[in-house]
Chain A
């Protein structure tokens, strides 16, 4: 592994009296696939949004490729990222291909319309969708297809860093498997740095190089996916085996 792509040092964020992040320290190396696991409402999404600047952290440092994420040209910064949102977050006023090519139709990466459409169709094909889908609207697609379109949009501009926010939530096990496989393939062939948040253990095993577990606002455990089962960490053990009994208190 080479240099660090994302470095977080003591990142904190509170919403009122709710201290979501209580000092996160996490490094992700270039080309590595990091999966963040943790229960619902533990701040996984907030962590991801802090890196993107969608949420401003209260304190702490976030470095992307060695540079402070909160300074400098934010548009140029975001151009290095692709993101797959939990619900797809496709723009429902735009056709599928315009969603995929959104970045290529405006701004600094603007290309001629025909070329942008061609790239969009190629990316759709990469995620297993036929070219006929290109002219449909997001509302006409099934949940699994919407996820695929979201994935195609995330990779359309060949980003260096890709974020996946709960990529398999709401999908059946087979479709989850397909999406997991696609994510793994795409990340490997693009050589991108990936960060995935999920609580689906099948995703973790399919996608991850490294795993970090977020609990109570801090990274409870981090290490290679192979070490996960023998970690000896009671929090991680309880989570990966889905046990109701253990150090993590569950609300009944």
Chain B
């Protein structure tokens, strides 16, 4: 190997991974556009949609609720500890509420749903791919994108804002419980304080974010499931990729959306 070969090794590796990254972005974008185009064209599968709504929305309630409850409680303690350094303990209720609805409710809820839903979608569709069920769907004149992807993506996009809204309420309640029982806040004053400082835009921006996160979660689950490799290992890898990419995309898009709503 000559010196020139060694010198080109590093730029070649950088170039290769850059190209691979661009290719993935391109194929995810095409997958997303194809999902949207199938969303608008019949046939529709309402039964599949309701089934997905139940699994993605309703069954995620405990996970999202628990996450919000403990996060709200911890948030109250942290803000109290920080606020007390410049005699601003009274901001606890409003900051807990704003923090929950603008940021933590949708983001943590989205991440929890990513772990639960993106994984299960990728594993289910990946197994269907490996056992030729996707091919079987096609031969039975049923488009896999319409039958599998569209109902899940639509259900997640619609269910996630509802989950986030419920998470917001439970999170604020977590802060309230800690505030009243541990930090000696007056119950009525805590509620009034929360209510007075919270604006409608705080809530709606958080819910829009949640809808975007829901879309990302289901899209990543379906995308990686449909491209699953062979065998148990392929499905395992697809599941991991789905959760990791959904989580990273949630955090990245959260920053972008926060800039937009700022």
Contact = CB atoms under 8 A, between A and B. Distances in A.
B131 A78 contact: no
A96 to B, nearest CB: 14
B141 A79 contact: yes
B5 interface: no
A52 interface: yes
Interface string A98-135: 00001100111000000000000000000000000000
A91 B133 contact: yes
B141 A85 contact: no
A167 to B, nearest CB: 14
Contact of B135 (A54, A107, A108): A54
Contacts of A177: none
A83 B139 CA distance: 7
A179 B128 CA distance: 24
A89 B127 CA distance: 10
Interface in B128-179: 128, 131-133, 135-142
A54 B139 CA distance: 8
Interface string B176-188: 0000000000000
A107 B131 contact: no
B255 interface: no
Contact of B133 (A75, A82, A86, A89): A89
Range class of the A interface residue count: 20 to 34
A89 B136 contact: yes
A39 interface: no
A81 B139 CA distance: 7
A103 B43 CA distance: 13
A78 B136 contact: no
A78 B142 CA distance: 10
B167 to A, nearest CB: 29
B45 interface: yes
Contact of A85 (B43, B45, B132, B142): B132
B135 A49 contact: yes
A87 interface: yes
Given A106-B43, A106-B45, A107-B43, A85 B136 contact: yes
A192 B245 CA distance: 47
B143 to A, nearest CB: 8
A78 B139 CA distance: 6
A106 to B, nearest CB: 7
A108 B42 CA distance: 12
A52 B142 contact: no
A233 B137 CA distance: 39
Contacts of B142: 102, 106-107
Contact of A89 (B45, B132, B141): B132
B141 A87 contact: no
Contacts of B141: 75, 78-79, 103, 107-108
B136 A83 contact: yes
A123 to B, nearest CB: 14
Contacts of B139: 52, 54, 78, 81-83
A121 B100 CA distance: 54
Contacts of A103: 140-141
Interface string B208-229: 0000000000000000000000
B43 A87 contact: no
A65 B146 CA distance: 28
B10 to A, nearest CB: 27
B138 A54 contact: yes
A54 B136 CA distance: 10
A102 B136 CA distance: 10
A53 B131 CA distance: 18
Contacts of B137: 91
Contacts of B45: 106
Interface in B26-85: 43, 45
Would you list the 10 A-B pairs with minimal beta carbon distance, nearest first? Answer: A89-B136, A89-B132, A75-B141, A83-B139, A78-B141, A85-B132, A89-B133, A103-B140, A102-B140, A54-B135
15 contacts: A53-B138, A54-B135, A75-B141, A78-B139, A78-B141, A82-B139, A83-B139, A85-B136, A86-B132, A89-B132, A89-B136, A102-B140, A102-B142, A107-B43, A108-B141
Interface of A: 49, 52-54, 75, 78-79, 81-83, 85-87, 89-92, 102-103, 106-108, 153
Given A85-B135, A108-B141, 6 more contacts: A52-B138, A52-B139, A78-B139, A86-B132, A103-B140, A103-B141
